[in-house]
Structure 1
Amino acid sequence: MRASAAGPGLSFRHALPLETVAVEGLPEHAVPAFEAAFETVCTTVGYFREEPAETWRVEGVREQGADDEELAGALALAALVSGIEAPPLLRTDTEAEGWLARTVTAFPEQPVGRRFLVRPTHLPDTTTYGRHVLRLDAGLAFGSGEHASTQGCLRALEAVAHRRPRRILDLGSGSGILALAAIGLLKRRVIATDIEPWSVRICAENARLNAVPHLMRAILADGWRNPDVRAPGPYDLIFANILARPLCAMAKHLAANLAPDGTAILAGLLGSQARMVLAAHRRRGLVLERRIDVGAWTTLVLRRR
């Protein structure tokens, strides 16, 4: 998965002497601080999740050598705020036209399952029959549908949509793609929550892109600790596309906030971790209804009887 923010300041009509500057191996909590650091001197900033280590790479494009001292200071401050050792700065020459082409081709239109089509905003919004179109900004693509765990969740949603769940929660929403899919397919209001402020911002922006801000409530929350997450429950459908260990840790709270006969779609876990996650939720009274494997990644569809 990746996310990036692109600004208008760089002109791509001429081959400017550009370079890409980057840092790698960041923990997720450090991404916003390093994003802000790069934004001090770079017009275009991107952040990418590195698998399987689950660390992040943050990069920016700027004119070669521009504002070196300012960038060094901003990166040192980001490391201090994040409580990590400052990573080395990586530099590569980048042709303007080549960078733009890489950004566009990295996020193509893609069908997912039988009923969804993820369409980036740099492509024309043509009429599409037989699929629900999810519009996502190529510059705001965290959870763009390309990752196997997201695809598994979308396929799981197709399989349970006939139950017409009314109260829906997307826990750890990222871009909000799963919330948008549920809104498009079920025409229901969805609460989308994430622990990171930048994810909540992106989620709300994507809701506006898809003309459904009135059906999505994007809130900043640390999982089930927030009363704004618990109060609208119990939920008929809960998405939790996170990671295996946090899913296990939250099993008790998820089960407590899932309505009788409700469905939980869990993802972000490798196939080798599925047994561990399933065991944690079985202890709380949930049963396995379906398992969806996409490559090395697994999605579990659980139900509360």
Structure 2
Amino acid sequence: MRRHVQPLETLVLDGLPEDAVPIYEGALLPVCLTVALFRDEPTDTWRIEAVREATADPAALASALALAAGLTGHEATAEHHATEADGWLARTVEAFPVMPVGGRFLVRPTHAPQGRVHGRIALTLDAGLAFGSGEHQSTRGCLMALEALPRRGRHARVLDLGAGSGILAMAAAKLWGCRVLATDIEPWSVRVAADNAVMNGLRGQVRAILADGWKAAAVRRPAPYDLVFANILARPLCAMSRALATHLAPGGTAILAGLLGAQVPMVLAAHRRHGLVLERRIDLAPWATLVLRKRAGAGAGR
């Protein structure tokens, strides 16, 4: 497990409405070590607690918060609290146990025993870099959707768009023995995904690259894809719906996540306009995961 020698601080954002939560979470993930969400039942609002290095660039944090405020129309004030590095690491270890997900996968931290697992596919991640660890309901929903996919043919071309830790790319590579392209817009996430792939014995199967969605030629060139993961946010999913339909193979599958249950109609409508049909919906409140299919014989989206 990696140790953080830099001083840490915890940011607390209180009183967030539910529809603002995924935007703030998405904005904070690139500039923080971990982001945790808590719901306050009496007020029906949410609290975000994010841990970051205290010496990190304050401008990057300010930009992330300003972006989230602009997109949501809700300006949240962040409280800053000093955090002991050793104490944070101990809490992170305690909060990241071995986690069975669905019927096929087992997500385990590096501090857990690393022996052979019988009956499940093990995915090993560093507790000190636990975003995308399988604890978040969106990640769990994607893994559950993946294991339930029928084997219509060889899933030779797989893309993990916004890969984060690379957990979904690794899961597909281990499940099907295929090669997976994992992309992210954050250099730090790309490094983490590449390191995790090596740690899980997938150096030749998972390729992690820096790319801004479908804009990158390196992402478009291998298309059409048989399977695309996009565990991001509702609005970017809608904005990229046409590109997804264009680069998905006829009969191919897209697993979309990072959206709240209330945002499902908006995301579905955007993708249906381009010929994708809903095959399954997984609800792990308040988050939803959608499994979409491109009809065989369908061309590019309009």
Question: TM-score, with normalisation over the residues of structure 1?
Answer: 0.79
Quote how far apart the aligned CAs of 1:100 are.
4.1
2:246 match: 256
> Aligned partners of 2:253 and 2:156: how far apart in 1?
11
The amino acid across from 2:247 in the alignment is: N
* Counterpart for residue 65 of structure 1: none
**Structure 2 length-normalised TM:** 0.79
Distance 1:82 1:260, change over 3 A: closer
Give the count of matched residue pairs: 269
Q: Which residue of 1 aligns with 2:95?
A: 106
Q: Distance in 1 between matches of 2:275 and 2:78?
A: 48
Q: Is the 8 A contact 1:31 1:56 kept in 2?
A: no
- 1:295 counterpart residue number: 285
Distance 1:254 1:93 in 2: 41
Q: CA-to-partner distance for each residue in 1:90-140, whole Å, 9 max, x for gaps?
A: 2357595x5443121111100000000001001111221110000111112
Q: Secondary structure at the match of 1:268?
A: strand
Cα separation, partners in 2 of 1:9 and 1:242, compared to 1, 3 Å? closer
The answer to whether structure 1 residue 134 and structure 2 residue 126 are counterparts is: no
Question: Which entry has the higher C-alpha Rg, 1 or 2?
Answer: 1
Summarize the alignment of residues 140-289 of structure 1 with structure 2, pairs less than 5 Å apart: 140-163=129-152, 164-289=154-279
Report the secondary structure of 1:277's partner residue: helix
2:50 to 54, 57, 65: 57
2:51 counterpart letter in structure 1? V
Paired residue secondary structure (2:139): helix
Distance change in 2, residues 1:270/1:225 (3 Å):
same
How far 1:262 sits from its partner (Å)?
Answer: 0.4
Unaligned runs of 5+ in 1: 11-18, 36-45, 62-70
Secondary structure of 2:245's partner? helix
Alignment of 1:13-92 (within 5 A): 21-24=9-12, 46-50=33-37, 57-60=50-53, 71=55, 75-76=57-58, 78=60, 90-92=80-82
Q: Is the Cα–Cα contact under 8 Å of residues 24 and 56 in structure 1 kept in the other structure?
A: yes
Measured after TM superposition, the shift of residue 275 of structure 1 is: 1.1
Aligned in 2, Cα 1:182/1:104: closer, same or farther, shift over 3 Å?
same
Question: What are the superposed Cα offsets for residues 258-283 of structure 1, whole Å, 9 maximum, x if unpaired?
Answer: 00000000111111111111111110
Q: Are 1:48 and 1:58, in contact at CA under 8 Å, matched by a contact in 2?
A: yes
Q: Which runs of 4+ in 1 moved over 4 A?
A: 24-32, 49-56, 74-85, 92-96
2:111 aligned with 1:118: no
Structure 2: stretches of 5+ with no match in the other structure:
14-23, 40-45, 68-76, 296-302
Q: How far 1:78 sits from its partner (Å)?
A: 4.7
RMSD of the alignment, in Å? 2.9
Q: What are the superposed Cα offsets for residues 162-206 of structure 1, whole Å, 9 maximum, x if unpaired?
A: 233110000010000000000010000000001111111110010
